[in-house]
Amino acid sequence: MTSRNIEVMQDIELYRYLLDLESPWTVERIKLDIIEQRVDVWAAHAEGLRWACPECGASVPLYEHAPERTWRHLDSCQFETFLHARPPRINCKDHGVLQVRLPWADKKARFTALFERLAIDVLGLGDAKGATKILRISWDEAWNIMERAVSRGLTRKKKRMSKIIGVDEKSVGKGHDYITLVNDVEPAAVEYIGDDRRQESLDGYFARFSEKKRAQNKAVGVDIWDPYLASIRNHVPRAGKKIVFDRYHLMTHMAKAVDEVRKEEHR
């Protein structure tokens, strides 16, 4: 033991609670680095266990362990805290060799679920740059957490055709790069994001629903953009009676038409 690295054996039960570890997982050992203000915790499990296949749920004995991985956890006493473990793998007769589900994090996550929950709350209260300073993570890590949260939300979200939707494009990055946004107007929620602003960009949204479901739509708010209009007419039954042009773009087109007539009359 040195003054820099301290093996903290007496706090194993405390960190088992802080990490929310449940049987068969427990804390094996803890190392405290005072200079780096860092705590490293190693989790382990009992021997001779059977594990559930992540695909079918079948009970399968341990096949091997994956290499050790590290997850960032919530800070403890202002010390950055990291969880280490070797994820178990099973050999399912139907699905082959797979890593079992870990109770503290998703399959490809670099942070524990508890840390991501805090990060999402902080990111929701301000801008990403400010949140990275509070959480002590990088910009890329912050965006990765947000993308994972959106992905989880979309997976759980029940697919339904919104009765009133708004369709618009949004410029992203530099130059003329666009994405297509479909919003459910009544709860004011984003339902779909497509690359570019082509007809195919919007086709991807409608393709998720049957014709019967698409018929439930009552109105589509959209600007006067031919690729979007073509997609709506191809997929929404009685589209001609449901299209509502965006006021801003409609007035822009009208003002341009009036200006062209004025110029022609002047000539």
Report how far residue 23's alpha carbon sits from residue 238's, in angstroms, rounded to the nearest whole number. Answer: 57
Confirm if 159 and 208 have CB atoms less than 8 A apart.
yes
Q: Which tokens sit at 209?
A: 């629903």
- Fold category of 164-266 in CATH: Nucleotidyltransferase; domain 5 (3.30.420)
Confirm if 59 and 66 have CB atoms less than 8 A apart.
no
Confidence of residue 7 (pLDDT cuts 50, 70, 90): low
What is the per-residue pLDDT across 139-184, written as a single tens digit (0 to 9) for each?
Answer: 999 988 988 888 888 788 777 888 999 999 888 766 678 899 999 9
Q: Which is nearest to 237 in space by CA: 212, 259, 261, 255?
A: 212
Residues 6+ apart with CB under 8 A from 68: 84, 85, 86
Q: Which is nearest to 45 in space by CA: 3, 88, 74?
A: 88
Q: Which residue has the higher pLDDT, 221 or 154?
A: 221
What is the per-residue pLDDT across 72-117, written as a single tens digit (0 to 9) for each?
Answer: 999 998 899 999 999 999 999 999 999 999 999 988 899 999 999 9
Q: Which is nearest to 183 in space by CA: 227, 223, 221?
A: 221
Q: What is the DSSP letter of 111?
A: B
Q: Is 173 left (phi over 0), alpha (psi -120 to 50) or beta?
A: left
**pTM, to two decimals:** 0.67
Domain segments of the chain as ranges: 1-104, 108-157, 164-266
